Amino acid sequence: MTEKSKEKLNLEKVATEAAEEKEVDAERTKSALSSLNSGQNGNAPTIVKLNAQDVKYIMDELDTTKDKTESALIESKGDVVKAIRLLLH
């Protein structure tokens, strides 16, 4: 076997391994996304969009830190009244 033939075989092997890795990564990504979408993961994150005005209002009224206020709003899923109750108790 000539040197060029060996190099060609090595390149083909590397290309095949790279293609297989991409397939595995694609399958893992697809699996992770489907588990998030279907709720199979019991700890799937819930996205809560916080309103800056709500954060400022609660901070001013209850004299709390931004971190505590945001945590309460996240726990109450953005409900200001529930967040205030959490901070008061």
pLDDT, mean of residues 1-8: 71
CB within 8 A of 25, min separation 6: which ones? none
**25 Rama class: left (phi>0) / alpha (psi -120 to 50) / beta:** alpha
Other Cβ atoms within 10 Å of 83 Cβ, number: 26
pLDDT, mean of residues 60-83: 93
pLDDT in tens, 16-32: 665 555 555 667 777 77
83 and 76 in contact (C-beta within 8 Å)?
Answer: yes
What is the pTM assigned to this prediction?
A: 0.51
pLDDT, mean of residues 55-69: 94
